[in-house]
């Protein structure tokens, strides 16, 4: 099971020094990848409630979030081998052709290290600010995904979609990774699970208990097989949003929350599930107050996973 680590992209830590220190130490330790999130706004009175907080507001660090793709470009220049991923990019926010150029540029400049995790988003306020109708997000994501693949896999390129049209054009800007960088999809509903099965290289769940992950991934694999795809090629990339406590939590605790022993047990269960990669996100834990703290947790968590 590969291991990934979340970059300090949000809150007071977000900056050049912390990003450099974290990415370089993660690479030196042997982490396979580092990852960014996509957060556009911190609404004062959110219309879409954040389910993990009592008042429906996002965590405080989300008041200050660096752009996910600019962060990956910055980190690419300061590392050599580690993969660079989004977990996840809200695909409907972006003009697909411009996004294709940005993503391809990252893959070229990093010598083929880009990994694209995508989602459809959930916050009404963010979609309004981005100028994208909230009720079109699924259709726009599906079309954008098809356009990205067309941009990456055909030359000349042309596209005639509901939201985007591309006149036949020469496209010599191609990713290093062929046929395209890995695409992982966050999915929680039957429609989005079908997107994983038909259009992606893998599933990227977060916050789902092990038993439920097993059932959902089996269903995704079944849908892929029914569509004529090789389901064995689909990867399971699990995002672990860590909440570390000094004392063990009760039986109803969320996955990857609790004492280090409880988190170690979740890691072991994730490995036993057959996950291909585990992405550890420690930036939001109360124990992390500085870049040095985050680097220390990257080291401690690396050891924890090795011993799980």
Task: Please report, for the chain, the start and end positions of each structural domain, with discontinuous segments joined by +.
Answer: 2-306
Query: Residues 69-94: what's their mean pLDDT?
Result: 98
Q: Is the separation of the CB atoms in 288 and 5 below 8 Å? A: no
Task: Check: CB of residue 210 under 8 Å from CB of residue 255.
Answer: yes
Tell me, what's the pLDDT at 222? Answer: 98
CATH no. for 2-306: 3.20.20.30
| Residue the block writes with tokens 């055909």 | 154
| Encoded tokens for 291 | 């870049």
pTM over 0.85: yes
* Residue 147 CB partners (closer than 8 Å, separation 6+): 96, 97, 100, 159, 161, 164, 166
Residue (of 215, 231, 265, 304) closest to 3 by Cα position: 304
pLDDT attached to residue 53: 85
Distance CA 83, CA 2 (A): 11
The predicted-structure confidence for 170-188, as pLDDT tens digits, reads as follows: 999 999 999 999 999 999 9
Give yes or no for a contact between 129 and 41, defined as CB atoms under 8 angstroms apart. Answer: yes
């Amino acid at each position: 099971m590969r291991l990934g680590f979340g970059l300090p992209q949000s809150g007071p830590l977000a900056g050049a020094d912390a990003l450099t220190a974290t990415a370089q130490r993660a690479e030196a330790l042997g982490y396979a990848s580092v990852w960014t999130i996509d957060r556009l706004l911190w609404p004062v009175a959110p219309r879409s409630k954040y389910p993990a907080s009592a008042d429906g507001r996002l965590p405080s660090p989300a008041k200050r979030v660096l752009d996910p793709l600019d962060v990956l470009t910055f980190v690419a220049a300061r590392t050599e081998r580690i993969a660079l991923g989004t977990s996840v990019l809200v695909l409907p926010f972006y003009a697909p052709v411009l996004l294709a150029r940005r993503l391809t540029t990252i893959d070229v400049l990093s010598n083929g290290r880009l990994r694209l995790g995508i989602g459809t988003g959930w916050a009404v306020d963010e979609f309004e600010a981005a100028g994208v109708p909230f009720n079109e997000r699924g259709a726009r994501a599906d079309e954008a995904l098809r356009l990205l693949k067309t941009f990456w896999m055909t030359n000349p390129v042309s596209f005639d979609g509901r939201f985007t049209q591309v006149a036949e054009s020469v496209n010599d800007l191609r990713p290093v990774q062929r046929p395209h960088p890995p695409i992982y999809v966050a999915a929680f509903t039957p429609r989005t699970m079908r997107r994983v099965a038909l259009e992606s290289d893998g599933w990227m769940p977060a916050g789902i208990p092990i038993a439920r992950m097993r059932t959902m991934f089996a269903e995704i694999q079944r849908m892929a097989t029914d569509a004529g795809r090789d389901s064995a090629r689909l990867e399971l990339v699990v995002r672990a949003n860590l909440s570390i406590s000094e004392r063990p939590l009760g039986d109803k605790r969320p996955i990857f929350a609790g004492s280090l022993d409880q988190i170690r047990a979740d890691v072991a269960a994730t490995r036993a599930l057959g996950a291909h990669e585990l992405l550890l996100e420690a930036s939001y834990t109360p124990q992390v107050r500085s870049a040095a703290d985050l680097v220390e947790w990257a080291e401690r968590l690396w050891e924890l996973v090795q011993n799980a």
